[in-house]
């Protein structure tokens, strides 16, 4: 049987236990892996006379590998360091996050995030990084860090030309001599060539170069490519990205002819002379041209043209007792066609 003292003691003990075991986070909550986005790995930038534009690809998956449906926000972090105070080994003094709206994740194709700012000061080094959030408490790890030195940038190159060749194209442009504010360039100038297949998403190819010509020798014949060139001002060894040229279009041209046909054989028939040869195994052969030379001539003339599906031709325009020498070439589907060397001659006494 409990006395009033026992009851009061029980109530006090219960209250003490409740307070000791009460809920309350001592550290920030840890979100489950199923909602934390993968880190952005392709943060990049472009600079023009207005400022800098950052772009990146929306993450599609969580760090656990499950699909994401949307990103609530992106956090953009910026650091600004005067070049006179820059220390390569010091921590980067990133400021508080600038929030950029997210949106739905497209499961079929990459969606691009963008941030622009014109608040840049000449002679300062800028650093940026980004992370993605699915909620206020579920943020990805930091992206790659991009950095650049801001200076009045140079204008974009002008006068782009493109000359097509076999599996390649040569891009040329005029040298840049002025900055975007009209001042003359007083620092070394480099140029970065960019390429695209759709005239939209351009990527840099090769290293930035001082000369005003670039040969791209990794093209597929017949396919269309687009090129731009960006000026890069080297300010005390730091690259300052400048203006970008207008794009130019070019398609590589197949200038390689098929191999010369082999196995040329001639046979006399009741109607004339039949010429046979081995059919080419090259995929782009469109047809064959047949040439004839009389015994008294040093040059041959074309007397026939057949489709690539055939390897026979009959010459009916012959005379008794004539001596004839036949050769065959193969040509491809390019316009104008590339024609092979003539095959070895074959003859018959008629």
Is domain 265-349 given the CATH code 3.30.200.20 in the classification? no
The top-level CATH class assigned to 44-150 is mainly beta
C-alpha–C-alpha distance, residues 320 and 231, integer Å:
73
C-alpha–C-alpha distance, residues 261 and 274, integer Å:
16
In the chain, pLDDT over 90 holds for what percent of residues?
A: 67
**Predicted confidence band at 27 (pLDDT cuts at 50, 70, 90)?**
low
Region 184-213 average pLDDT: 95
C-alpha–C-alpha distance, residues 249 and 162, integer Å:
7
Region 285-294 average pLDDT: 96
What's the pTM? 0.53
Region 218-222 average pLDDT: 87
Tens-place pLDDT, residues 44-102: 998 766 789 999 999 999 999 999 999 999 999 999 999 889 999 999 999 999 999 99
CATH of domain 161-251: 2.60.40.10
C-alpha–C-alpha distance, residues 129 and 144, integer Å:
6
The helix (H) or strand (E) run that includes residue 17 is helix 4-20
Average pLDDT, the chain: 89
CB 338 within 8 A of CB 258: yes
Domain ranges of the chain: 44-150, 161-251, 265-349
* Selection from 24-33, 232-241, 295-304 with the highest mean pLDDT: 295-304
Q: Do domains 161-251 and 265-349 have the same CATH topology?
A: yes
**Predicted confidence band at 5 (pLDDT cuts at 50, 70, 90)?**
very low
C-alpha–C-alpha distance, residues 55 and 34, integer Å:
25
CB 100 within 8 A of CB 164: no
Tens-place pLDDT, residues 117-159: 987 888 899 999 999 999 988 999 999 999 988 888 899 999 9
Neighbours of 264 (CB within 10 A): 20
C-alpha–C-alpha distance, residues 181 and 158, integer Å:
16
pLDDT at residue 9 greater than cutoff 60: no
156: nearest Cα among 204, 183, 191: 191
Count CA within 13 A, CB hemisphere, residue 144: 11
Residues 6+ apart with CB under 8 A from 75: 97, 98, 99, 100, 130, 131, 132, 133, 139
The helix (H) or strand (E) run that includes residue 207 is none
């Amino acid at each position: 049987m409990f006395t009033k003292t026992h009851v009061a003691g029980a109530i006090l003990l219960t209250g003490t236990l409740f307070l000791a075991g009460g809920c309350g986070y001592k550290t920030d909550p840890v979100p489950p892996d199923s909602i934390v986005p993968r880190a952005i790995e392709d943060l990049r930038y472009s600079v023009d006379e207005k400022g800098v534009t950052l772009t990146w690809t929306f993450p599609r998956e969580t760090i656990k590998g499950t699909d994401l449906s949307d990103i609530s926000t992106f956090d953009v972090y910026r650091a600004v360091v005067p070049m006179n105070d820059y220390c390569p080994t010091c921590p980067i003094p990133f400021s508080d996050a600038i929030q950029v709206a997210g949106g739905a994740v497209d499961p079929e194709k990459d969606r691009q995030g963008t941030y622009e700012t014109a608040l840049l000061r000449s002679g300062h080094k800028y650093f940026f990084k980004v992370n993605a959030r699915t909620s206020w408490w579920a943020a990805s790890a930091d992206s790659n860090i991009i950095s650049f030195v801001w200076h009045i940038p140079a204008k974009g190159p002008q006068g782009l030309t493109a000359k097509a060749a076999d599996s390649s194209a040569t891009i040329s442009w005029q040298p840049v001599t002025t900055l975007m504010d009209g001042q003359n360039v007083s620092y070394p100038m480099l140029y970065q060539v960019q390429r695209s297949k759709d005239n939209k998403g351009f990527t840099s190819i090769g290293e930035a170069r001082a000369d005003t010509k670039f040969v791209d020798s990794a093209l597929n014949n017949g396919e269309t490519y687009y090129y731009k060139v960006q000026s890069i001002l080297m300010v005390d060894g730091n690259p300052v990205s400048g203006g970008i040229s207008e794009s130019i279009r070019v398609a590589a041209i197949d200038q390689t002819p098929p191999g010369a046909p082999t196995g040329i054989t001639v046979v006399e028939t009741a109607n004339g002379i039949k010429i046979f040869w081995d059919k080419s195994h090259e995929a782009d052969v469109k047809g064959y041209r047949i040439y004839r030379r009389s015994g008294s001539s040093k040059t041959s003339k074309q007397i026939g043209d057949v489709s690539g599906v055939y390897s026979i031709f009959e010459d009916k325009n012959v005379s008794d007792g004539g001596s004839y020498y036949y050769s065959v070439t193969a040509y491809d589907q390019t316009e104008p066609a590339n024609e092979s060397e003539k095959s070895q001659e074959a003859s018959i006494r008629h």
